[in-house]
Amino acid sequence: MTLGASSGFEVVTLGTLASAGATGAQQSTGIHTTFQVTVTGIGTNVVMRFEGSLDGVGYFNLAPGAIDYTITANGVYGYVLYAPVQYVRASLVSASGGTPSVTILAGTI
């Protein structure tokens, strides 16, 4: 089912990453998308990128200025992005030290 297709706020798990790579993509009605990132086992840091696509093939950075987000401590983090796209996913760009586990949820109206 397309994320945001029903009435109300919908949330899906995009996946859990332990090394550099991308989660599976989720089709979305995508206007405003909130990403929740839960990090455990961090060493120095993890670097996250939130991506969107119009066709499900080519993905681009959704953050203003195309920035990546550096997380330096275990915890739960939220990112709200204006995302008028058909598909969303998250990428773990890099991890320094530790044995990180990064779980990403996405929600949209």
Q: Looking at the domain assignment, is residue 101 inside a domain?
A: yes
- Give residues with Cβ within 8 angstroms of 71, minimum separation 6: 37, 39, 42, 45, 46, 47, 48, 77
| pTM recorded for the entire structure | 0.90
Residue 5 lies in a domain: no
SS3 65: helix
How do the pLDDT tens digits run along the chain, 109 residues long? 666 566 667 899 999 999 999 999 999 876 789 999 999 999 999 999 999 999 999 999 999 999 999 999 999 999 999 878 999 999 999 999 999 999 999 998 7
Report if residue 4 sits inside a domain: no
What the block records as the tokens of 67 is 């920035």
* Within-domain flag for 96: yes
Decide if 15 is inside a domain: yes
Does the residue 1 lie in any domain?
no
d(CA 35, CA 12): 10
- CATH value at residue 42: 2.60.120.1110
C-alpha separations of 109 from 14, 20, 21, 35 in Å = 16, 29, 27, 13
List the end-to-end C-alpha distance of the chain, in Å, as a whole number: 14
Domain range for 68: 10-108
Angle, vertex CA 88, rays to CA 84 and CA 93, nearest 5:
125
CB atoms within 10 A of CB 1: 9
Q: Tell whether 32 is covered by a domain.
A: yes
User: Number of folded domains in the chain?
Assistant: 1
Q: Which of 81, 28, 70 is nearest to 46 (CA)?
A: 70
